Structure 1
Amino acid sequence: MAPAPALHRIGLTGGIGSGKSTVAALWREEGMRVIDLDAHSRAVLDVPGDGVEEAIARFGEELRNAAGTIDRAAMARLVFADDAARADLERIVLSRVDEAVAREEAEAAAAGESLVVHDSPLLLEKGKEGDYRAVVAVLARREDRIARVMRDRGKDREYVESIMAAQVTDRERILRADRLVLNTGTREQLAARARHTLERLRADAP
Protein backbone atom coordinates (compact mmCIF):
# COMPACT_ATOMS: atom_id res chain seq x y z
CA MET A 1 0.00 0.00 0.00
CA ALA A 2 1.98 2.99 -1.26
CA PRO A 3 1.25 6.38 0.31
CA ALA A 4 0.00 9.29 -1.76
CA PRO A 5 2.74 11.35 -3.45
CA ALA A 6 4.60 13.69 -1.08
CA LEU A 7 2.79 12.14 1.89
CA HIS A 8 4.94 10.48 4.53
CA ARG A 9 3.67 7.90 6.99
CA ILE A 10 4.55 7.54 10.64
CA GLY A 11 3.65 4.25 12.30
CA LEU A 12 2.47 4.39 15.92
CA THR A 13 2.32 1.11 17.80
CA GLY A 14 2.44 -0.41 21.27
CA GLY A 15 1.27 -3.40 23.22
CA ILE A 16 -2.01 -3.72 25.05
CA GLY A 17 -2.23 -1.23 27.92
CA SER A 18 0.89 0.65 26.86
CA GLY A 19 -0.82 4.02 26.38
CA LYS A 20 -0.60 4.06 22.59
CA SER A 21 -4.17 5.31 22.24
CA THR A 22 -3.43 8.15 24.66
CA VAL A 23 -0.44 9.20 22.53
CA ALA A 24 -2.62 9.03 19.41
CA ALA A 25 -5.20 11.29 21.05
CA LEU A 26 -2.49 13.75 22.15
CA TRP A 27 -1.12 13.90 18.62
CA ARG A 28 -4.60 14.60 17.27
CA GLU A 29 -4.83 17.50 19.70
CA GLU A 30 -1.55 18.76 18.21
CA GLY A 31 -3.12 18.81 14.75
CA MET A 32 -1.83 15.51 13.37
CA ARG A 33 -4.03 13.37 11.17
CA VAL A 34 -4.05 10.00 12.95
CA ILE A 35 -5.61 7.13 11.01
CA ASP A 36 -6.89 4.41 13.34
CA LEU A 37 -6.39 1.13 11.48
CA ASP A 38 -8.00 -0.91 14.24
CA ALA A 39 -11.15 1.23 14.12
CA HIS A 40 -11.38 0.81 10.35
CA SER A 41 -10.92 -2.94 10.78
CA ARG A 42 -13.71 -3.19 13.37
CA ALA A 43 -16.04 -1.09 11.23
CA VAL A 44 -15.95 -3.64 8.40
CA LEU A 45 -17.87 -6.16 10.50
CA ASP A 46 -19.59 -3.86 13.00
CA VAL A 47 -21.22 -1.39 10.59
CA PRO A 48 -23.84 -2.50 8.03
CA GLY A 49 -22.39 -2.37 4.54
CA ASP A 50 -20.52 -4.24 1.82
CA GLY A 51 -18.07 -5.83 4.23
CA VAL A 52 -20.82 -7.38 6.32
CA GLU A 53 -22.67 -8.62 3.26
CA GLU A 54 -19.56 -10.19 1.74
CA ALA A 55 -18.81 -11.92 5.04
CA ILE A 56 -22.38 -13.23 5.24
CA ALA A 57 -22.17 -14.47 1.65
CA ARG A 58 -18.95 -16.31 2.44
CA PHE A 59 -19.73 -17.66 5.91
CA GLY A 60 -23.51 -17.93 6.09
CA GLU A 61 -26.58 -16.04 7.28
CA GLU A 62 -26.24 -17.60 10.73
CA LEU A 63 -23.30 -15.23 11.33
CA ARG A 64 -25.64 -12.21 11.19
CA ASN A 65 -26.61 -10.84 14.61
CA ALA A 66 -29.76 -9.00 15.69
CA ALA A 67 -28.22 -5.65 14.71
CA GLY A 68 -27.70 -6.87 11.15
CA THR A 69 -23.92 -7.01 11.47
CA ILE A 70 -21.53 -9.87 12.30
CA ASP A 71 -21.73 -12.02 15.42
CA ARG A 72 -18.08 -11.65 16.37
CA ALA A 73 -18.04 -14.50 18.88
CA ALA A 74 -19.47 -16.94 16.34
CA MET A 75 -17.07 -15.68 13.67
CA ALA A 76 -14.11 -16.10 16.03
CA ARG A 77 -15.06 -19.71 16.74
CA LEU A 78 -15.37 -20.42 13.03
CA VAL A 79 -12.09 -18.91 11.86
CA PHE A 80 -10.13 -20.25 14.86
CA ALA A 81 -10.69 -23.79 13.60
CA ASP A 82 -10.40 -23.13 9.85
CA ASP A 83 -7.29 -21.60 8.25
CA ALA A 84 -9.02 -21.07 4.90
CA ALA A 85 -11.91 -19.26 6.59
CA ARG A 86 -9.48 -17.06 8.51
CA ALA A 87 -7.64 -16.17 5.30
CA ASP A 88 -10.92 -15.27 3.59
CA LEU A 89 -11.99 -13.10 6.53
CA GLU A 90 -8.64 -11.29 6.52
CA ARG A 91 -9.01 -10.61 2.80
CA ILE A 92 -12.52 -9.19 3.28
CA VAL A 93 -11.43 -6.97 6.15
CA LEU A 94 -7.99 -5.85 4.96
CA SER A 95 -9.10 -4.87 1.46
CA ARG A 96 -11.66 -2.49 2.98
CA VAL A 97 -9.22 -1.16 5.55
CA ASP A 98 -6.82 -0.35 2.70
CA GLU A 99 -9.61 1.50 0.88
CA ALA A 100 -10.53 3.51 3.98
CA VAL A 101 -6.90 4.41 4.67
CA ALA A 102 -6.39 5.44 1.05
CA ARG A 103 -9.38 7.80 1.29
CA GLU A 104 -8.02 9.43 4.44
CA GLU A 105 -4.56 9.78 2.91
CA ALA A 106 -6.04 11.35 -0.22
CA GLU A 107 -7.84 13.88 1.99
CA ALA A 108 -4.56 14.62 3.78
CA ALA A 109 -2.69 15.13 0.53
CA ALA A 110 -5.45 17.37 -0.83
CA ALA A 111 -5.22 19.46 2.35
CA GLY A 112 -1.49 19.93 1.82
CA GLU A 113 -0.45 17.76 4.76
CA SER A 114 2.95 16.09 4.53
CA LEU A 115 2.70 13.66 7.46
CA VAL A 116 0.04 11.18 8.52
CA VAL A 117 0.14 8.78 11.44
CA HIS A 118 -1.11 5.20 11.27
CA ASP A 119 -2.28 4.05 14.71
CA SER A 120 -1.57 0.35 14.22
CA PRO A 121 -1.42 -2.00 17.23
CA LEU A 122 -0.15 -4.96 15.15
CA LEU A 123 2.28 -3.03 12.96
CA LEU A 124 5.35 -4.99 14.10
CA GLU A 125 3.52 -8.30 14.42
CA LYS A 126 2.64 -8.02 10.73
CA GLY A 127 6.13 -6.91 9.72
CA LYS A 128 4.88 -3.62 8.28
CA GLU A 129 7.64 -1.30 9.50
CA GLY A 130 8.99 -0.97 5.95
CA ASP A 131 5.80 0.91 5.00
CA TYR A 132 6.72 3.86 7.22
CA ARG A 133 9.15 6.74 7.27
CA ALA A 134 9.50 6.11 11.00
CA VAL A 135 7.95 3.78 13.57
CA VAL A 136 7.20 5.02 17.08
CA ALA A 137 6.58 2.48 19.85
CA VAL A 138 4.95 3.33 23.18
CA LEU A 139 6.40 1.37 26.10
CA ALA A 140 5.19 0.86 29.67
CA ARG A 141 6.04 -1.49 32.50
CA ARG A 142 4.40 -4.89 32.24
CA GLU A 143 2.65 -4.70 35.61
CA ASP A 144 1.41 -1.17 34.86
CA ARG A 145 -0.05 -2.38 31.57
CA ILE A 146 -1.83 -5.30 33.20
CA ALA A 147 -3.25 -3.13 35.98
CA ARG A 148 -4.39 -0.47 33.49
CA VAL A 149 -6.32 -2.92 31.30
CA MET A 150 -7.88 -4.66 34.30
CA ARG A 151 -8.98 -1.30 35.72
CA ASP A 152 -10.10 0.46 32.55
CA ARG A 153 -11.53 -2.44 30.53
CA GLY A 154 -12.72 -4.78 33.26
CA LYS A 155 -10.57 -7.67 32.01
CA ASP A 156 -8.89 -10.26 34.19
CA ARG A 157 -5.16 -10.84 34.41
CA GLU A 158 -5.30 -14.06 32.39
CA TYR A 159 -6.92 -12.22 29.48
CA VAL A 160 -4.30 -9.46 29.46
CA GLU A 161 -1.41 -11.88 29.66
CA SER A 162 -2.84 -13.96 26.79
CA ILE A 163 -2.94 -10.87 24.58
CA MET A 164 0.60 -9.93 25.59
CA ALA A 165 1.80 -13.43 24.71
CA ALA A 166 0.45 -13.02 21.17
CA GLN A 167 2.19 -9.65 20.67
CA VAL A 168 5.87 -8.91 20.10
CA THR A 169 7.97 -8.30 23.20
CA ASP A 170 9.12 -4.89 24.36
CA ARG A 171 12.65 -5.96 23.47
CA GLU A 172 11.53 -6.40 19.86
CA ARG A 173 9.78 -3.03 19.94
CA ILE A 174 12.98 -1.38 21.17
CA LEU A 175 15.05 -3.05 18.46
CA ARG A 176 12.65 -2.44 15.57
CA ALA A 177 11.15 0.99 16.30
CA ASP A 178 12.86 4.22 15.28
CA ARG A 179 11.64 6.20 18.29
CA LEU A 180 10.28 5.27 21.71
CA VAL A 181 7.78 7.04 23.95
CA LEU A 182 8.05 5.89 27.56
CA ASN A 183 4.83 5.76 29.56
CA THR A 184 6.47 5.32 32.95
CA GLY A 185 5.17 8.28 34.91
CA THR A 186 2.19 10.59 35.05
CA ARG A 187 -0.11 11.46 32.19
CA GLU A 188 1.49 14.90 32.09
CA GLN A 189 4.92 13.31 31.63
CA LEU A 190 3.57 11.08 28.87
CA ALA A 191 2.04 14.12 27.16
CA ALA A 192 5.37 15.98 27.29
CA ARG A 193 7.25 13.01 25.85
CA ALA A 194 4.64 12.49 23.12
CA ARG A 195 4.79 16.15 22.10
CA HIS A 196 8.59 16.11 22.06
CA THR A 197 8.59 13.04 19.82
CA LEU A 198 6.07 14.66 17.49
CA GLU A 199 8.21 17.79 17.27
CA ARG A 200 11.19 15.67 16.26
CA LEU A 201 9.16 13.79 13.65
CA ARG A 202 7.93 17.05 12.15
CA ALA A 203 11.46 18.48 12.16
CA ASP A 204 12.78 15.40 10.36
CA ALA A 205 10.08 15.47 7.68
CA PRO A 206 11.23 16.67 4.22
Structure 2
Amino acid sequence: MNIGLTGGIASGKSFVSTYLSEKGLPIIDADKIARQVVEPGTPALEQIVNQFGEKILQTDGHLDRKALGSIVFASEEKRNQLNRIVHPAVREKMLHDAAAYKEEGYDTIIFDIPLLVESHLFHLVDQVWIVYVDEETQLTRLMERDGSTREEALQRIRAQIPLDQKIQYGDQVIKNSGTKQETAQQIDQLLRELQQ
Protein backbone atom coordinates (compact mmCIF):
# COMPACT_ATOMS: atom_id res chain seq x y z
CA MET A 1 0.00 0.00 0.00
CA ASN A 2 1.41 3.35 -1.06
CA ILE A 3 0.00 6.18 1.07
CA GLY A 4 0.26 9.75 -0.14
CA LEU A 5 0.64 12.10 2.81
CA THR A 6 -0.10 15.73 2.06
CA GLY A 7 -1.43 18.92 3.59
CA GLY A 8 -0.71 22.60 3.30
CA ILE A 9 2.21 24.74 4.33
CA ALA A 10 2.42 24.83 8.17
CA SER A 11 -0.38 22.26 8.54
CA GLY A 12 1.80 19.94 10.64
CA LYS A 13 2.48 17.37 7.94
CA SER A 14 6.11 17.10 9.08
CA PHE A 15 4.96 16.05 12.56
CA VAL A 16 2.72 13.36 11.03
CA SER A 17 5.52 12.17 8.74
CA THR A 18 7.99 11.96 11.64
CA TYR A 19 5.45 10.08 13.76
CA LEU A 20 4.84 7.54 10.97
CA SER A 21 8.60 7.11 10.58
CA GLU A 22 8.92 6.46 14.33
CA LYS A 23 6.25 3.75 13.87
CA GLY A 24 8.64 2.01 11.46
CA LEU A 25 7.14 3.06 8.13
CA PRO A 26 9.52 4.11 5.33
CA ILE A 27 9.04 7.71 4.23
CA ILE A 28 9.72 8.96 0.73
CA ASP A 29 10.00 12.70 1.30
CA ALA A 30 9.36 14.69 -1.88
CA ASP A 31 10.88 17.88 -0.37
CA LYS A 32 14.15 16.09 0.49
CA ILE A 33 14.25 14.53 -2.95
CA ALA A 34 13.49 17.93 -4.51
CA ARG A 35 16.63 19.25 -2.79
CA GLN A 36 18.70 16.26 -3.95
CA VAL A 37 17.71 16.59 -7.62
CA VAL A 38 18.89 20.24 -7.74
CA GLU A 39 22.33 19.69 -6.22
CA PRO A 40 25.22 21.19 -8.22
CA GLY A 41 25.94 19.10 -11.32
CA THR A 42 22.41 17.72 -11.69
CA PRO A 43 20.48 18.09 -14.95
CA ALA A 44 17.58 19.75 -13.09
CA LEU A 45 19.78 22.54 -11.67
CA GLU A 46 21.24 23.16 -15.11
CA GLN A 47 17.72 23.55 -16.54
CA ILE A 48 16.70 25.91 -13.70
CA VAL A 49 19.73 28.14 -14.37
CA ASN A 50 18.91 28.14 -18.10
CA GLN A 51 15.32 29.18 -17.28
CA PHE A 52 15.87 31.72 -14.48
CA GLY A 53 19.49 32.85 -14.87
CA GLU A 54 22.63 32.73 -12.72
CA LYS A 55 21.03 35.06 -10.12
CA ILE A 56 19.34 32.02 -8.52
CA LEU A 57 22.74 30.49 -7.64
CA GLN A 58 24.80 31.04 -4.51
CA THR A 59 28.49 31.78 -4.96
CA ASP A 60 29.34 28.11 -4.27
CA GLY A 61 27.09 26.93 -7.13
CA HIS A 62 24.23 25.71 -4.93
CA LEU A 63 20.67 26.83 -5.57
CA ASP A 64 19.72 30.03 -3.72
CA ARG A 65 16.25 28.97 -2.59
CA LYS A 66 15.30 32.39 -1.27
CA ALA A 67 16.18 34.11 -4.56
CA LEU A 68 14.30 31.49 -6.56
CA GLY A 69 11.38 31.58 -4.11
CA SER A 70 10.96 35.33 -4.49
CA ILE A 71 10.59 34.80 -8.25
CA VAL A 72 8.25 31.79 -8.25
CA PHE A 73 5.99 32.70 -5.32
CA ALA A 74 5.13 35.98 -7.02
CA SER A 75 4.18 34.44 -10.38
CA GLU A 76 2.10 31.37 -11.13
CA GLU A 77 3.65 31.17 -14.60
CA LYS A 78 7.20 31.11 -13.18
CA ARG A 79 6.12 28.59 -10.53
CA ASN A 80 4.76 26.35 -13.29
CA GLN A 81 8.02 26.67 -15.25
CA LEU A 82 9.98 25.56 -12.19
CA ASN A 83 7.58 22.68 -11.49
CA ARG A 84 7.93 21.40 -15.07
CA ILE A 85 11.67 21.03 -14.44
CA VAL A 86 11.72 19.70 -10.89
CA HIS A 87 8.64 17.46 -10.69
CA PRO A 88 9.66 14.84 -13.30
CA ALA A 89 13.08 14.45 -11.66
CA VAL A 90 11.46 14.10 -8.23
CA ARG A 91 8.90 11.53 -9.44
CA GLU A 92 11.61 9.40 -11.03
CA LYS A 93 13.65 9.30 -7.80
CA MET A 94 10.54 8.63 -5.68
CA LEU A 95 9.60 5.60 -7.78
CA HIS A 96 13.18 4.35 -7.63
CA ASP A 97 13.20 4.65 -3.81
CA ALA A 98 9.78 2.97 -3.52
CA ALA A 99 10.98 -0.01 -5.56
CA ALA A 100 14.00 -0.31 -3.25
CA TYR A 101 11.77 -0.31 -0.12
CA LYS A 102 9.52 -2.96 -1.67
CA GLU A 103 12.59 -5.12 -2.33
CA GLU A 104 13.48 -4.74 1.35
CA GLY A 105 10.05 -6.21 2.18
CA TYR A 106 8.03 -3.17 3.24
CA ASP A 107 4.28 -3.49 2.55
CA THR A 108 3.31 0.11 3.34
CA ILE A 109 5.27 3.09 2.09
CA ILE A 110 4.50 6.73 2.91
CA PHE A 111 4.92 9.22 0.06
CA ASP A 112 5.26 12.59 1.81
CA ILE A 113 4.25 14.95 -1.04
CA PRO A 114 3.27 18.54 -0.14
CA LEU A 115 1.86 19.28 -3.62
CA LEU A 116 0.29 15.87 -4.27
CA VAL A 117 -3.13 17.39 -5.06
CA GLU A 118 -1.81 20.42 -7.00
CA SER A 119 0.41 18.16 -9.13
CA HIS A 120 -2.26 15.45 -9.61
CA LEU A 121 0.07 12.68 -8.41
CA PHE A 122 -2.77 10.39 -7.33
CA HIS A 123 -1.49 7.65 -9.68
CA LEU A 124 1.57 7.20 -7.45
CA VAL A 125 -0.45 6.21 -4.38
CA ASP A 126 -3.30 3.92 -3.29
CA GLN A 127 -4.66 6.25 -0.60
CA VAL A 128 -4.36 9.97 0.15
CA TRP A 129 -4.05 11.14 3.77
CA ILE A 130 -4.52 14.90 4.23
CA VAL A 131 -3.25 16.77 7.28
CA TYR A 132 -5.77 19.53 7.96
CA VAL A 133 -5.75 22.72 10.04
CA ASP A 134 -8.04 25.74 9.81
CA GLU A 135 -6.57 28.72 7.94
CA GLU A 136 -6.10 30.92 11.03
CA THR A 137 -4.06 28.19 12.78
CA GLN A 138 -2.10 27.65 9.56
CA LEU A 139 -1.39 31.38 9.26
CA THR A 140 -0.29 31.72 12.89
CA ARG A 141 2.01 28.67 12.68
CA LEU A 142 3.60 29.87 9.43
CA MET A 143 4.26 33.37 10.78
CA GLU A 144 5.80 31.89 13.96
CA ARG A 145 7.84 29.30 12.07
CA ASP A 146 9.30 31.59 9.38
CA GLY A 147 9.13 34.95 11.13
CA SER A 148 7.09 36.20 8.17
CA THR A 149 4.54 38.98 8.05
CA ARG A 150 0.84 38.17 7.78
CA GLU A 151 0.89 39.26 4.11
CA GLU A 152 3.94 37.08 3.27
CA ALA A 153 2.38 34.09 5.04
CA LEU A 154 -0.94 34.58 3.24
CA GLN A 155 0.85 34.80 -0.12
CA ARG A 156 2.53 31.43 0.52
CA ILE A 157 -0.69 29.80 1.75
CA ARG A 158 -2.64 31.11 -1.25
CA ALA A 159 -0.01 29.64 -3.63
CA GLN A 160 -1.52 26.24 -2.73
CA ILE A 161 -5.06 24.88 -2.97
CA PRO A 162 -6.85 25.86 0.27
CA LEU A 163 -7.00 23.01 2.77
CA ASP A 164 -10.79 23.36 2.93
CA GLN A 165 -10.86 22.36 -0.76
CA LYS A 166 -7.97 19.91 -0.58
CA ILE A 167 -9.66 17.63 1.95
CA GLN A 168 -12.16 16.48 -0.69
CA TYR A 169 -9.26 14.58 -2.33
CA GLY A 170 -8.40 12.72 0.86
CA ASP A 171 -9.29 9.13 1.62
CA GLN A 172 -8.45 10.05 5.22
CA VAL A 173 -8.24 13.45 6.93
CA ILE A 174 -5.98 13.95 9.95
CA LYS A 175 -7.22 16.97 11.92
CA ASN A 176 -4.17 18.71 13.36
CA SER A 177 -5.54 21.88 14.98
CA GLY A 178 -5.43 20.31 18.47
CA THR A 179 -2.63 18.78 20.51
CA LYS A 180 0.10 16.50 19.16
CA GLN A 181 -1.34 13.72 21.32
CA GLU A 182 -4.75 14.08 19.64
CA THR A 183 -3.09 13.94 16.23
CA ALA A 184 -1.06 10.86 17.23
CA GLN A 185 -4.24 9.08 18.35
CA GLN A 186 -5.81 9.67 14.92
CA ILE A 187 -2.71 8.29 13.18
CA ASP A 188 -2.65 5.21 15.43
CA GLN A 189 -6.30 4.56 14.53
CA LEU A 190 -5.54 4.83 10.80
CA LEU A 191 -2.63 2.41 11.14
CA ARG A 192 -4.86 -0.08 12.99
CA GLU A 193 -7.41 0.15 10.17
CA LEU A 194 -4.68 -0.56 7.60
CA GLN A 195 -3.75 -3.78 9.37
CA GLN A 196 -7.32 -5.14 9.37
**Is the shorter-chain TM-score for this pair beyond 0.5, marking a shared fold?**
yes
Q: Note the C-alpha offset of 1:171.
A: 3.0
Deviations 1:150-204 (A, max 9, x none): 222212221221222222223323322111111132111111112222222343x
Aligned to 2:173: 180
Where structure 1 has 5 or more consecutive residues not aligned to the other structure, the ranges are 1-7
Q: TM-score, normalised by structure 2?
A: 0.84
Partner residue, 1:49: 41
1:197 aligns with 2:161: no
Q: Secondary structure at the match of 1:145?
A: helix
- The answer to whether the Cα contact below 8 Å between 1:24 and 1:34 also exists between their aligned partners in 2 is yes
Matched, 1:102 2:95: yes
Report deviation, 1:76: 4.9
Task: Give the structure-1-normalised TM-score.
Answer: 0.80
| Larger-gyration structure (1/2) | 1
Question: Are 2:107 and 1:114 aligned?
Answer: yes
Structure 2, unaligned runs of 5 or more: none
Paired residues of 1:14 and 1:138 also in contact (CA < 8 A):
yes
Find the aligned partners of 1:141 and 1:82 in 2 and give their Cα distance.
24
SS in 2 for 1:127: coil
Matched, 1:15 2:8: yes
Supply the distance in 2 between the matched residues of 1:127 and 1:32 (Cα, whole angstroms): 24
Q: Percent identity?
A: 32
Distance 1:118 1:181 in 2: 15
Using a 3 Å threshold, how does the CA distance of structure 1 residues 78 and 165 change in structure 2: closer, same or farther? closer
Q: What does residue range 1-150 of structure 1 map to in structure 2 within 5 Å?
A: 8-45=1-38, 47-50=39-42, 51-56=44-49, 60-76=53-69, 83=77, 89-150=82-143
* Alpha carbons of structure 1 residues 101 and 67: separation in structure 2 relative to 1, 3 Å: same
Q: Per-residue CA shift, 1:19-63, capped at 9, x if unaligned? A: 111000000000111111122113333x32313344345655454
